[in-house]
Amino acid sequence: MPSPRFASEFERGTEALKAKDFTAAIHHLEAAASTDATNANGLLRLAQAYEASKQFDLAFKTYLKCSRHAPRPGLPLTKALDMLCRQSRFEEAAGVMRQLVSALPTALPIYVKLARVELGLGQPAKARDTALALVREATRAGHEPLVAEGHLLAGLALLLSSRATEAEKHLLEARQRAPGSAEAWVALAKLRELKKDRIKAEAILREAVARLPRAFAPANELGLLLMRSRSAKRHTEAIRFLEKAALNQPANRDVYLNLALAWYPSNKERAHWCARQAMHSRSQATRAEARRLLEKLQQTARP
């Protein structure tokens, strides 16, 4: 049973947090924590106050402390994870996810997040192990979509490790279990390109576009593959597939850079328009490349 002082400080801190008076909230919630340093509710509310006031390191430490005293450690760990991901602190996020997997081995979506973060961090061996654990746990739970996701992630991790034969086995399994997974189709095509089998890669992507006409990735990848050809006919076809990708996902501005490069120099007006669209991309690299193309177009437009 919490002490009267803890209850009073906790209530005042909670009210201040609701009112967005973060200084007062932290003052009262720190007072509550000093009264009872193991009360999980008090620690969780204090961590939230730290996070709201942008004291992220203190928030992170307090979420972790809360998880050690909480009857359900998954809640503070999940909140810590969400905060770290919003800040792009993926290395620390991976550590929190490993704690979550340990605390909640049946929380299958955490395996998916962890494997993808590990792939993004360039840790294919860890990502493979996490993906295989997902396959095992999802099979045990009878969760077919996540079994397929586990095979996909294992295949991507093995592909990143240049273990093409093992990667192909998992990617084929993923596609068989989830034929609507555009990511599985594209990964199989990339694997074929790595094996220098462009004909097979193109065939896979063409089948993917036919089966998944509204998907972005297969149309985009097929357009890029065709762009690498020196044939004018195939170059024209590449533009058609890139335009299809843009229609399928209008908010994705990266594809407009591909279109701008495809149109340049044959149609500078269209290349210019597409490059301007690419300038709205979230990717700094895409914006930089689009800016270079716009500068080149400006120079060639001068008399």
pLDDT digits (tens, 9 = 90+) for 21-45: 999 999 999 999 999 999 999 999 9
How far is residue 109's CA from residue 146's CA, in Å, rounded to a whole number? 8
Cβ-Cβ contacts under 8 Å for 79 (sequence gap 6 or more):
44, 47, 48, 51, 63
Q: Is the domain covering 1-81 a CATH 1.10.3720.10 domain?
A: no
Report whether pLDDT(303) > 70: no
Q: CA of 21: how far to CAs of 54, 59, 243, 261, 294, in Å? A: 13, 16, 50, 51, 47
pTM over 0.85: no
Where do the domains of the chain lie? 1-81
User: Residues 203-227: what's their mean pLDDT?
Assistant: 96
pLDDT digits (tens, 9 = 90+) for 145-165: 999 999 999 999 999 999 999
pLDDT digits (tens, 9 = 90+) for 72-130: 888 888 888 889 888 888 898 888 888 888 877 778 888 998 999 999 999 999 999 99
